[in-house]
Amino acid sequence: SQTIHQWPATLVQPVGSPLSLECTVEGTSNPNLYWYRQAAGRGLQLLFYSVGIGQISSEVPQNLSASRPQDRQFILSSKKLLLSDSGFYLCAWSPGLAGDETDTQYFGPGTRLTVL
């Protein structure tokens, strides 16, 4: 069966510090991968998605970046965190099915980031 991991689970960082959040998927190959952010009291916002190694699409311009160095590894980074970067960050994967079948996304446990 497929599993998705995120770490760390919680993180407190000062403004201006760098960030690296990691997401890995097990039990599947060539998945689509996604990064979402959920700010307090708000819905989920898609930040990045990737359909393959080195292929990253950005949905929202910001001071965050994403990379996919390996097939089942997705990393969210920042060089300098802002207060507004605080939130709940979720990684998701989908099988990337083609044709008529739709592509269900499955979410990881999330990382709660607090920027002080």
Partner 1 sequence: DAKTTQPPSMDCAEGRAANLPCNHSTISGNEYVYWYRQIHSQGPQYIIHGLKNNETNEMASLIITEDRKSSTLILPHATLRDTAVYYCIALDDKIIFGKGTRLHILP
The residues that touch partner 1, with contacts defined as CB under 8 A, are 34, 36, 42-46, 49, 59, 88, 90, 92, 102, 104-110, 112
Least distance (Å) between residue 60 CB and partner 1: 12
Q: Are 62 and 76 in contact (CB under 8 A)?
A: no
Least distance (Å) between residue 88 CB and partner 1: 8
Least distance (Å) between residue 39 CB and partner 1: 12
Query: What are the C-alpha distances in Å from 67 to residues 1, 47, 52, 112?
Result: 25, 12, 10, 20
DSSP state of 47: E
Nearest CB to partner 1, comparing residues 31 and 110: 110
Nearest CB to partner 1, comparing residues 19 and 91: 91
Q: Are 73 and 55 in contact (CB under 8 A)?
A: no
